[in-house]
C-alpha cells in the first residue's frame, strides 16, 4: 500500500545514503537519489533510469518519491496563482506563485493552520492543524507549474515557520545545498513574528534573509493584534536581531500591515524609527486586506503614503508593498486552506 511507504523527498544527502545502505545498495546511490529528487525533480522511482531495475524495485518496496499534486489551482487577473495541496494532517495547505517582470516567487506554507492567533490573519483564525513535513514543504516547490522558472522563495504562506524550525531548516538545507536545489540563500526570505529561541537558531544556522512581522511598535497595542507578543516580546526580538550583521549580503526587513486608526499615526511612525534605529533594514508597509468578522480596516492610501514619507525622512527605507492576488484570496493574511472561501 502506497500509504505505508516512506517518502524519499525531504531527506538530505546523508539520509539518502543511509537509505541506500539500508537496502543493500551502494552509498553513491544516495547522491544519485538526491540528483533525481532535487535536480531532475522526478515524480516516481521508475523515472530514476540510472539505477538498476533491481535497485528501483528494492526502493519501491519501501519508498515513494512523495510529491503532492495540487488539488486546486486558481489564477488571479494579475498573474498570481494559488495552489491548494493536500497535507498529512487532513487539511489543505496553500502555496502562491507571484510573477513579476524578471522574477517568479513562490510563497510557501510551513504549517497547516497556525498557533499564533494574529487577529488580522485568516490562517490564524483556523487554528493549528499540524507542522508540515520537510517533504511537504519541498513538494510545493516541485509541484507548481512554474517550478523550473522560480527565482525566489518566501516562507510567508500559512503558518509560523520558526514554530516548525526543524523541518523548515531541513527544507532550507535542501534548497541551498549543492546536492539539492543549489539556490543561493539570497533568493530566500523567511518571515516570522519572532519566535524565540528558534529565531537564534535560524540566524546562526542559515544565511537566508529575515522578515519580521512587526505591525505595531507599542508592546501593549501589539499584544492586542498579536497575542504571541506576550511570549515573544518584539523588544527582545529586536535586541537579538541587533546582535547580527545585516550590512552585507543578508537582509532584514520588517512587515508592517497598516490598520486604520490603530497603528497608522505619526506617533507609531516615530516609535518604529526609534525601535529600529541602528539597524540596517527596510520596512515594508502592507495594505490590510479585509477579512470577515474583523473590526480592523485598511488605512487609507494617503495615510500609508504619509507614514512611508515620515519614516523615509528619518533615514530608514520604507516602501509600500504592492498587493497581489487579492481576487483569489492569495494576498497577505488571506490564506485559509479553504477553496474559494467567500468574503462577506
325 binds ligand SF4 (CB under 6 A): no
CB 105 within 8 A of CB 150: yes
CB 123 within 8 A of CB 113: yes
The rounded distance, in Å, linking the Cα atoms of 194 and 159 is 13
Name the nearest CA neighbour of 209 among 248, 171, 180: 248
Nearest distance from C-beta of residue 211 to ligand SF4, angstroms: 11
Nearest distance from C-beta of residue 160 to ligand SF4, angstroms: 4
87 is catalytic: no
Return the number of the residue (119 or 310) whose C-beta is nearest ligand SF4.
119
The interface mask with ligand SF4, positions 292-321, x = CB under 6 A, is ------------------------------
**Strands 93-99, 104-107: pairing kind:** antiparallel
114 binds ligand SF4 (CB under 6 A): yes
Nearest distance from C-beta of residue 245 to ligand SF4, angstroms: 26
Return the number of the residue (99 or 117) whose C-beta is nearest ligand SF4.
117
118 binds ligand SF4 (CB under 6 A): yes
Nearest distance from C-beta of residue 158 to ligand SF4, angstroms: 6
The rounded distance, in Å, linking the Cα atoms of 208 and 172 is 8
C-alpha cell at position 72 = 486546486
95 binds ligand SF4 (CB under 6 A): no
User: What residue has cell string 495540487?
Assistant: 70
The interface mask with ligand SF4, positions 16-35, x = CB under 6 A, is --------------------
Residue 266: burial class (beta carbons within 10 Å; 0-12, 13-18, 19+): exposed
CB atoms within 10 A of CB 267: 11
Between the two ends of the chain, the Cα-to-Cα distance in Å is 43
The interface mask with ligand SF4, positions 154-183, x = CB under 6 A, is ----xxx-----------------------
- List the catalytic residue out of 94, 136, 160, 326: 94
Site size toward ligand SF4, by CB under 6 A: 12
216 binds ligand SF4 (CB under 6 A): no
Which residues face 283 on adjacent strands?
A: 254, 318
Catalogue the long-range contacts made by 11-14 (C-beta closer than 8 Å, 24 or more residues apart): 11/134, 12/170, 12/173, 12/174, 12/177, 12/180, 13/177, 13/179, 13/180
CB 221 within 8 A of CB 271: no
- Residue 309, classed as helix, strand or coil, is helix
94 is catalytic: yes
123 binds ligand SF4 (CB under 6 A): yes
Return the number of the residue (48 or 193) whose C-beta is nearest ligand SF4.
193
Pick the piece of the chain touching ligand SF4 (CB under 6 A) from 32-40, 114-122, 234-242, 288-296: 114-122
CB 218 within 8 A of CB 182: no
Which residue of 162, 193, 214, 258 would you call a contact of ligand SF4, by CB under 6 A? 193
CA-CA-CA-CA torsion sign (137, 230, 216, 261): positive
Pick the piece of the chain touching ligand SF4 (CB under 6 A) from 43-51, 113-121, 263-271, 323-331: 113-121
Return the number of the residue (75 or 296) whose C-beta is nearest ligand SF4.
296
Which residues face 254 on adjacent strands?
A: 212, 283
- List the catalytic residue out of 87, 107, 118, 332: 332
Positions marked catalytic = 94, 332
Provide the binding-site residues for ligand SF4, judged by CB under 6 A. 114, 116-118, 121, 123-124, 158-160, 193, 213
Amino acid at each position: 500500500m502506497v500509504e505505508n511507504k516512506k517518502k524519499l523527498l525531504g531527506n538530505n544527502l546523508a539520509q539518502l545514503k543511509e537509505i541506500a545502505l539500508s537496502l543493500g545498495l551502494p552509498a553513491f546511490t544516495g547522491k544519485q537519489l538526491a540528483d533525481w529528487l532535487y535536480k531532475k525533480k522526478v515524480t516516481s522511482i521508475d523515472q530514476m533510469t540510472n539505477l538498476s531495475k533491481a535497485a528501483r524495485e528494492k526502493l519501491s518496496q519501501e519508498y515513494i518519491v512523495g510529491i503532492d499534486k495540487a488539488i486546486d489551482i486558481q489564477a488571479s487577473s494579475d498573474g498570481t496563482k494559488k495552489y491548494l495541496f493536500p497535507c498529512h494532517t487532513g487539511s489543505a495547505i496553500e502555496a502562491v506563485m507571484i510573477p513579476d517582470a524578471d522574477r517568479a516567487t513562490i510563497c510557501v506554507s510551513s504549517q497547516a493552520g497556525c498557533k499564533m492567533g494574529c487577529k488580522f490573519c485568516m490562517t490564524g483564525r483556523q487554528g493549528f492543524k499540524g507542522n508540515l513535513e520537510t517533504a511537504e514543504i519541498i513538494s510545493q516547490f516541485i509541484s507548481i507549474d512554474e517550478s523550473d522558472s522560480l527565482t525566489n522563495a518566501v516562507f510567508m504562506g500559512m503558518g509560523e515557520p520558526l514554530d516548525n524550525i526543524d523541518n523548515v531548516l531541513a527544507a532550507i538545507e535542501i534548497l541551498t545545498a549543492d546536492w539539492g536545489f543549489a539556490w543561493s540563500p539570497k533568493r530566500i526570505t523567511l518571515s516570522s513574528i519572532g519566535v524565540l529561541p528558534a529565531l537564534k537558531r535560524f540566524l546562526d544556522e542559515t544565511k537566508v534573509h529575515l522578515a519580521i512581522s512587526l505591525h505595531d511598535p507599542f508592546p501593549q497595542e501589539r499584544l492586542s493584534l498579536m497575542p504571541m507578543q506576550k511570549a515573544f516580546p518584539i523588544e527582545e526580538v529586536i535586541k537579538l536581531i541587533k546582535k547580527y550583521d545585516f550590512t552585507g549580503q543578508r537582509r532584514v526587513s520588517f512587515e508592517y500591515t497598516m490598520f486604520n486608526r490603530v497603528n497608522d499615526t505619526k506617533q507609531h511612525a516615530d516609535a518604529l524609527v526609534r525601535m529600529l534605529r541602528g539597524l540596517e533594514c527596510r520596512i515594508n508597509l502592507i495594505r490590510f486586506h479585509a477579512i470577515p468578522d474583523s473590526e480592523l480596516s485598511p488605512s487609507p492610501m494617503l495615510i500609508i503614503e504619509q507614514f512611508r514619507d515620515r519614516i523615509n525622512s528619518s533615514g530608514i527605507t520604507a516602501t509600500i508593498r504592492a498587493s497581489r492576488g487579492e481576487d483569489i484570496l492569495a494576498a497577505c493574511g488571506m490564506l485559509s486552506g479553504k477553496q474559494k472561501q467567500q468574503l462577506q
